[in-house]
Structure 1
């Protein structure tokens, strides 16, 4: 397998998410659990049959495709050109995919969507605080009046208290060495080292440990009202010490 070495010119997520090794390392993610979560969310929030949904940071479109199968008009957006190219193979008249940076307003969709979904910790990657706010505001601008933004993020309190400093994982005969730490800027940093075809590789994931209070401030500054915070994919209430997730439901008045 041949891929280019990571450079400092790209932000880490622009390089790593476009790499085939990202998909190898995470190939065993539980998509059944993800679909069950989406189904619960659709039922809990009572999505209308004709709802128009944005899947923000959609990856290769698995969740967009499932939402479309549930009967919704879906637009999937992702920064990775390779992801979007793969997702477009499943496109149809009610399922479209575009290359898009969430920090920018999706011009084709201003005030067009009933729901914007940002799922499975697809946030907190940016180096500057202002960029987090830009991303929230761009999502808010996509919503109709009364529209809902759902943002699903890790629970930083639990993740940090249970952080595994080092592990090894073998997938498709590639031996990954993974280290984790929290840096002085409060980013949860995962370094991923491995060799393939006698070539060494190093990638890094950086996710800001954003608190519930900080998220609420982002939403309020974007003109959104937080209505609920769930703590897991079964939509139980959020508990800072026990919950695995922070799932925000924020409405545009």
Structure 2
């Protein structure tokens, strides 16, 4: 959790405001944030007038989200994105922000996530997947970075590499007393054509692709993001 504390909550509101406009959902629509983490984007969605459910596998991150949402504005649920704990056709829209996709080594598991997004969407429902641009990542990978958290004094070191079609990040957190915590994150480097194929197979139509939160067109070489929007196939 401390690793991503530096991400800006105000920026989350601006990102969501722009991206939700791409979906065209009416105010009051039921929206599921899949992989909601600490709830930055889910709470921003609520502020924009949506009925929001935030779901994540990590109880620790959900606990942080609930602290920030003391009023209970968002419904927080623990669940696995490969088997969403919701009824068929429950949501008007699903969103998946900041590369909360591609975690699983088995490609069948990542396909299952897309199928689940379709299952919980109503007829006419809309989806948004905000993914990294794999071409840009491979060309601009920063092998190592280090920073110190101002509040805790923790040193956070991150080493990155590309291996077997995935970007892998080894995270080492060094506490003031010298104790260390080590984590590894892995994201599959799926290309746009993979998403086009798998979305269509699941009954979802890809309509627009953006290269950043400002709505710029996607350029495979220059864009930092691969943001995809569309809807349930009629």
TM-score of the aligned structures, taking structure 1 as reference length: 0.85
- Over 3 Å counting, the alpha-carbon distance change for 1:91 and 1:199 in structure 2 is closer
Secondary structure, aligned partner of 1:28: coil
1:51-89 per-residue CA deviation (whole Å, 9 max, x = no partner) reads 110011111212111211222111110101122233234
The aligned counterpart of 1:238 is: 218
Q: 1:91 deviation in Å? A: 6.3
Distance in 1 (CA, whole Å) between partners of 2:13 and 2:40 is 9
Query: Which aligned pairs between 1:116-135 and structure 2 lie closer than 5 A?
Result: 116-135=94-113
* 2:14 alignment partner in structure 1: 36
Structure-2 residue corresponding to 1:188: 167
Structure 1 residues 73 and 49, CA gap change in structure 2 (3 angstroms): same
Cα distance in structure 2, aligned partners of 1:190 and 1:168: 13
> For residues 111 and 8 of structure 2, what CA distance do their matches in structure 1 show?
30
* Structure 1 stretches of at least 4 aligned residues deviating more than 3 Å after TM superposition: 91-94
- Higher deviation after alignment, 234-243 or 82-91: 82-91
1:1-253, aligned counterparts within 5 Å?
23-89=1-67, 90=69, 95-107=74-86, 109-171=87-149, 172-183=152-163, 185-196=164-175, 197-253=177-233
Structure 1: which 5+ residue stretches go unaligned?
Answer: 1-22
Q: 1:70/1:245 Cα in 2 relative to 1: closer, same or farther (>3 Å)?
A: same
Distance 1:47 1:91, change over 3 A: farther
Gaps of 5+ in 2: none
Supply the distance in 1 between the matched residues of 2:12 and 2:2 (Cα, whole angstroms).
Answer: 18
CA distance in 1, matches of 2:220, 2:205: 20
- Paired positions, count: 229
CA RMSD of aligned residues (A): 1.6
- CA distance in structure 1 between the partners assigned to 2:155 and 2:66 by the alignment: 31
Q: Shift in Å at residue 136 of structure 1? A: 0.6
The answer as to whether partners of 2:23 and 2:230 remain within 8 angstroms in 1 is: no
Q: 1:92 to 1:175 in 2, by over 3 A?
A: closer
Separation (CA, whole Å) in 2 of partners of 1:80 and 1:74? 18
